[in-house]
Amino acid sequence: MNIIEILTKLFELIKPIIQKYIGNVQEPQPMPQPKADVYWITNKDGIQKGIEYLEANKYAFYAGKHSWKSGQISKPYNNILKIFDGKDYWSIYRYFNYGLLSFVFKNRIPEFEYKKFNGKYDTFCNFAASIMYNSFVKGSPVDYPKETLQNWKGSQLSANKMYSYFAKEKYNTDICEFKKVEKDEAQKIAQGEGLVFAVLKLIGRSGHIATLTWQYQDSEIQIIQAGKDFGLMPISKGFGSSNMKKVKYYAAVIPEVKDV
Protein backbone atom coordinates (compact mmCIF):
# COMPACT_ATOMS: atom_id res chain seq x y z
CA MET A 1 0.00 0.00 0.00
CA ASN A 2 1.54 3.32 -1.08
CA ILE A 3 1.35 6.60 0.80
CA ILE A 4 -1.54 7.93 -1.33
CA GLU A 5 -3.64 4.84 -0.54
CA ILE A 6 -2.81 5.18 3.16
CA LEU A 7 -3.79 8.86 3.24
CA THR A 8 -6.98 8.10 1.33
CA LYS A 9 -8.00 5.45 3.87
CA LEU A 10 -7.14 7.79 6.77
CA PHE A 11 -9.26 10.51 5.22
CA GLU A 12 -12.22 8.17 4.91
CA LEU A 13 -11.88 7.42 8.64
CA ILE A 14 -11.95 11.08 9.68
CA LYS A 15 -14.35 12.31 6.99
CA PRO A 16 -17.40 12.06 9.34
CA ILE A 17 -15.57 14.26 11.88
CA ILE A 18 -14.68 16.83 9.21
CA GLN A 19 -18.27 16.91 8.00
CA LYS A 20 -19.48 17.46 11.57
CA TYR A 21 -17.35 20.60 12.00
CA ILE A 22 -16.98 21.89 8.44
CA GLY A 23 -20.02 20.54 6.63
CA ASN A 24 -20.40 18.03 3.86
CA VAL A 25 -17.52 17.74 1.43
CA GLN A 26 -18.93 18.84 -1.89
CA GLU A 27 -19.08 16.35 -4.71
CA PRO A 28 -17.13 17.60 -7.75
CA GLN A 29 -19.22 18.75 -10.70
CA PRO A 30 -18.07 18.53 -14.32
CA MET A 31 -16.30 21.64 -15.53
CA PRO A 32 -18.48 23.60 -17.99
CA GLN A 33 -17.49 23.29 -21.63
CA PRO A 34 -15.66 26.21 -23.28
CA LYS A 35 -17.82 28.70 -25.15
CA ALA A 36 -17.64 28.18 -28.88
CA ASP A 37 -16.31 31.64 -29.68
CA VAL A 38 -13.41 31.79 -27.20
CA TYR A 39 -10.18 29.85 -26.70
CA TRP A 40 -10.20 30.05 -22.93
CA ILE A 41 -12.29 27.93 -20.56
CA THR A 42 -15.26 29.64 -18.94
CA ASN A 43 -16.75 28.84 -15.53
CA LYS A 44 -18.07 31.90 -13.72
CA ASP A 45 -19.96 29.68 -11.28
CA GLY A 46 -16.73 27.91 -10.32
CA ILE A 47 -14.96 31.20 -9.69
CA GLN A 48 -17.89 32.52 -7.65
CA LYS A 49 -18.00 29.35 -5.52
CA GLY A 50 -14.26 29.65 -4.88
CA ILE A 51 -14.61 33.28 -3.77
CA GLU A 52 -17.56 32.41 -1.54
CA TYR A 53 -15.62 29.55 0.06
CA LEU A 54 -12.58 31.74 0.76
CA GLU A 55 -14.73 34.49 2.30
CA ALA A 56 -16.69 31.99 4.42
CA ASN A 57 -13.42 30.42 5.65
CA LYS A 58 -11.43 33.66 5.77
CA TYR A 59 -9.85 33.04 9.18
CA ALA A 60 -8.05 30.00 7.74
CA PHE A 61 -6.25 32.27 5.26
CA TYR A 62 -5.23 35.22 7.44
CA ALA A 63 -1.52 35.88 7.86
CA GLY A 64 -0.16 34.84 11.23
CA LYS A 65 1.98 32.42 13.24
CA HIS A 66 1.16 28.75 12.85
CA SER A 67 2.24 25.32 14.02
CA TRP A 68 1.54 21.85 12.64
CA LYS A 69 -0.01 19.15 14.81
CA SER A 70 1.04 15.90 13.17
CA GLY A 71 -0.68 12.61 13.84
CA GLN A 72 -3.97 14.11 15.05
CA ILE A 73 -6.09 11.78 12.97
CA SER A 74 -8.83 11.64 15.60
CA LYS A 75 -9.21 15.42 15.63
CA PRO A 76 -10.71 17.55 12.87
CA TYR A 77 -7.68 19.87 12.70
CA ASN A 78 -3.95 19.48 12.14
CA ASN A 79 -2.75 23.09 12.16
CA ILE A 80 -3.11 25.93 14.69
CA LEU A 81 -2.79 29.54 13.54
CA LYS A 82 -2.50 32.57 15.84
CA ILE A 83 -3.61 35.88 14.34
CA PHE A 84 -4.41 39.48 15.18
CA ASP A 85 -7.34 40.77 13.09
CA GLY A 86 -6.80 44.42 13.96
CA LYS A 87 -9.04 44.21 17.00
CA ASP A 88 -8.71 40.82 18.70
CA TYR A 89 -6.25 37.95 18.96
CA TRP A 90 -7.39 34.49 17.89
CA SER A 91 -6.38 30.83 17.81
CA ILE A 92 -7.55 29.41 14.50
CA TYR A 93 -7.87 25.65 14.15
CA ARG A 94 -7.48 24.46 10.57
CA TYR A 95 -7.54 21.24 8.60
CA PHE A 96 -4.96 20.83 5.82
CA ASN A 97 -5.01 18.10 3.19
CA TYR A 98 -3.51 17.95 -0.29
CA GLY A 99 -2.85 21.67 -0.56
CA LEU A 100 -6.29 22.69 0.69
CA LEU A 101 -7.03 24.56 3.91
CA SER A 102 -10.32 24.50 5.80
CA PHE A 103 -11.40 26.58 8.78
CA VAL A 104 -12.64 24.41 11.67
CA PHE A 105 -13.15 26.74 14.65
CA LYS A 106 -11.57 29.69 16.49
CA ASN A 107 -11.04 30.89 20.06
CA ARG A 108 -10.34 34.43 21.22
CA ILE A 109 -7.07 34.58 23.15
CA PRO A 110 -5.23 37.21 25.24
CA GLU A 111 -2.39 39.19 23.68
CA PHE A 112 0.29 37.48 25.80
CA GLU A 113 -0.71 34.06 24.46
CA TYR A 114 -0.30 35.29 20.89
CA LYS A 115 3.11 36.82 21.66
CA LYS A 116 4.48 33.74 23.44
CA PHE A 117 3.30 31.35 20.70
CA ASN A 118 6.36 29.77 19.08
CA GLY A 119 5.06 29.41 15.54
CA LYS A 120 6.28 30.34 12.09
CA TYR A 121 4.89 33.57 10.64
CA ASP A 122 3.42 32.86 7.24
CA THR A 123 0.99 33.99 4.55
CA PHE A 124 -1.20 31.64 2.54
CA CYS A 125 -1.70 32.98 -0.98
CA ASN A 126 -0.68 29.62 -2.47
CA PHE A 127 -3.42 27.80 -0.55
CA ALA A 128 -6.04 30.35 -1.64
CA ALA A 129 -4.97 29.80 -5.27
CA SER A 130 -5.45 26.06 -4.78
CA ILE A 131 -9.03 26.67 -3.66
CA MET A 132 -9.75 28.75 -6.75
CA TYR A 133 -8.18 26.17 -9.06
CA ASN A 134 -10.17 23.35 -7.48
CA SER A 135 -13.43 25.27 -7.67
CA PHE A 136 -12.92 26.20 -11.31
CA VAL A 137 -11.47 22.96 -12.69
CA LYS A 138 -12.97 20.32 -10.42
CA GLY A 139 -16.26 21.95 -9.49
CA SER A 140 -15.62 21.90 -5.73
CA PRO A 141 -13.49 24.27 -3.61
CA VAL A 142 -12.63 21.38 -1.27
CA ASP A 143 -12.25 18.13 -3.18
CA TYR A 144 -10.29 15.69 -1.00
CA PRO A 145 -7.94 14.03 -1.67
CA LYS A 146 -6.72 15.36 -5.02
CA GLU A 147 -3.63 17.19 -6.24
CA THR A 148 -3.90 20.96 -6.32
CA LEU A 149 -1.75 23.88 -7.44
CA GLN A 150 -0.04 24.04 -4.05
CA ASN A 151 0.43 20.25 -3.83
CA TRP A 152 1.18 19.15 -7.38
CA LYS A 153 2.18 15.51 -7.83
CA GLY A 154 3.34 15.35 -4.22
CA SER A 155 5.43 18.56 -4.25
CA GLN A 156 4.56 21.33 -1.77
CA LEU A 157 4.89 24.60 -3.68
CA SER A 158 5.45 28.19 -2.58
CA ALA A 159 4.26 31.09 -4.75
CA ASN A 160 7.75 31.35 -6.26
CA LYS A 161 7.68 27.65 -7.16
CA MET A 162 4.17 27.99 -8.56
CA TYR A 163 5.44 30.81 -10.81
CA SER A 164 8.09 28.41 -12.17
CA TYR A 165 5.54 25.62 -12.67
CA PHE A 166 3.35 27.93 -14.74
CA ALA A 167 6.35 29.11 -16.79
CA LYS A 168 7.51 25.54 -17.43
CA GLU A 169 3.97 24.36 -18.30
CA LYS A 170 4.00 21.79 -15.50
CA TYR A 171 0.37 22.53 -14.63
CA ASN A 172 -0.87 21.60 -18.09
CA THR A 173 -3.22 18.60 -18.23
CA ASP A 174 -5.65 17.08 -20.72
CA ILE A 175 -8.41 19.07 -18.95
CA CYS A 176 -6.85 22.52 -19.26
CA GLU A 177 -3.59 24.23 -20.01
CA PHE A 178 -2.24 27.53 -18.73
CA LYS A 179 -1.17 30.10 -21.28
CA LYS A 180 0.90 33.17 -20.46
CA VAL A 181 -1.01 36.29 -21.50
CA GLU A 182 -0.48 40.03 -21.28
CA LYS A 183 -2.33 42.14 -18.70
CA ASP A 184 -4.97 43.50 -21.11
CA GLU A 185 -5.74 40.00 -22.39
CA ALA A 186 -5.81 38.67 -18.82
CA GLN A 187 -8.45 41.25 -17.91
CA LYS A 188 -10.48 40.35 -21.00
CA ILE A 189 -10.39 36.65 -20.11
CA ALA A 190 -11.31 37.29 -16.48
CA GLN A 191 -14.26 39.43 -17.56
CA GLY A 192 -15.21 36.63 -19.96
CA GLU A 193 -15.67 34.20 -17.04
CA GLY A 194 -12.23 32.63 -17.40
CA LEU A 195 -9.66 31.66 -14.77
CA VAL A 196 -6.54 33.84 -14.64
CA PHE A 197 -3.79 33.75 -12.04
CA ALA A 198 -1.53 36.74 -11.46
CA VAL A 199 1.85 35.53 -10.22
CA LEU A 200 4.90 37.36 -8.88
CA LYS A 201 8.32 35.80 -8.33
CA LEU A 202 10.72 37.55 -5.97
CA ILE A 203 14.34 36.54 -5.52
CA GLY A 204 15.33 35.87 -1.93
CA ARG A 205 11.87 36.41 -0.48
CA SER A 206 8.32 35.18 -0.79
CA GLY A 207 6.50 35.71 -4.07
CA HIS A 208 2.75 36.10 -4.47
CA ILE A 209 -0.19 34.64 -6.39
CA ALA A 210 -3.80 35.82 -6.69
CA THR A 211 -6.85 35.16 -8.87
CA LEU A 212 -8.41 37.77 -11.13
CA THR A 213 -12.17 38.34 -10.88
CA TRP A 214 -14.49 39.83 -13.53
CA GLN A 215 -15.00 42.98 -11.41
CA TYR A 216 -13.19 46.31 -11.27
CA GLN A 217 -12.33 48.19 -8.08
CA ASP A 218 -10.86 51.70 -7.93
CA SER A 219 -10.51 51.61 -11.75
CA GLU A 220 -8.39 48.44 -11.54
CA ILE A 221 -9.07 44.79 -12.11
CA GLN A 222 -10.12 43.14 -8.86
CA ILE A 223 -8.43 40.08 -7.37
CA ILE A 224 -9.21 37.58 -4.62
CA GLN A 225 -6.20 36.71 -2.51
CA ALA A 226 -4.71 35.65 0.79
CA GLY A 227 -1.51 37.29 1.98
CA LYS A 228 -0.69 40.14 4.33
CA ASP A 229 -4.14 41.34 3.31
CA PHE A 230 -7.04 38.98 2.65
CA GLY A 231 -10.06 39.27 0.40
CA LEU A 232 -11.22 41.15 -2.69
CA MET A 233 -9.11 44.18 -3.60
CA PRO A 234 -7.55 46.11 -6.50
CA ILE A 235 -4.64 44.20 -7.99
CA SER A 236 -2.05 46.86 -7.12
CA LYS A 237 -2.97 46.63 -3.43
CA GLY A 238 -2.39 42.89 -3.43
CA PHE A 239 0.94 42.97 -5.25
CA GLY A 240 2.17 46.47 -4.45
CA SER A 241 2.35 49.22 -7.06
CA SER A 242 6.13 48.89 -7.37
CA ASN A 243 5.84 45.22 -8.35
CA MET A 244 3.12 45.48 -10.99
CA LYS A 245 5.52 45.41 -13.97
CA LYS A 246 6.93 42.09 -12.69
CA VAL A 247 3.55 40.35 -12.40
CA LYS A 248 2.85 37.62 -14.97
CA TYR A 249 -0.58 36.31 -15.97
CA TYR A 250 -1.57 32.73 -16.76
CA ALA A 251 -5.02 31.83 -18.10
CA ALA A 252 -6.74 28.43 -18.24
CA VAL A 253 -7.24 27.64 -21.92
CA ILE A 254 -8.48 24.79 -24.05
CA PRO A 255 -5.71 22.17 -24.41
CA GLU A 256 -3.99 22.12 -27.77
CA VAL A 257 -4.64 19.10 -29.95
CA LYS A 258 -1.44 17.09 -30.09
CA ASP A 259 -0.46 15.26 -33.27
CA VAL A 260 -0.62 11.48 -32.90
Residue 186 lies in a domain: yes
Average of per-residue pLDDT across 10-37: 53
Mean pLDDT of the chain: 85
Residue 259 lies in a domain: no
Gap between the Cα atoms of 37 and 202, Å rounded: 36
Give yes or no for residue 18 having a pLDDT over 60.
no
Residue 164 lies in a domain: yes
Give yes or no for residue 239 having a pLDDT over 90.
yes
Q: What residues have CB less than 8 Å from 55, skipping those under 6 apart?
A: 231
User: 143-193 pLDDT, tens per residue?
Assistant: 655 678 998 988 889 999 999 999 999 999 888 899 999 999 999 999 999
pLDDT given at position 12: 60
pLDDT given at position 260: 42
- The three-class DSSP label of residue 245 is helix
Instruction: Between 38 and 104, name the one with better pLDDT.
Output: 104
Phi-psi group of 37: left, alpha or beta (phi > 0 → left; psi -120 to 50 → alpha; rest → beta)? alpha
pLDDT given at position 256: 76
Residue 38: pLDDT band (50, 70, 90) is low
Residue 112 lies in a domain: yes
Share of the chain above pLDDT 90, in %: 63
Residue 260 lies in a domain: no
Average of per-residue pLDDT across 27-47: 69
Gap between the Cα atoms of 26 and 22, Å rounded: 11
Domain range holding 95?
Answer: 3-253
Residue 258 lies in a domain: no
Residue 36: pLDDT band (50, 70, 90) is very low
130-144, 150-164, 192-206, 230-244: which range is least confident on average? Answer: 130-144
- The three-class DSSP label of residue 200 is strand
- How many domains, the chain? 1
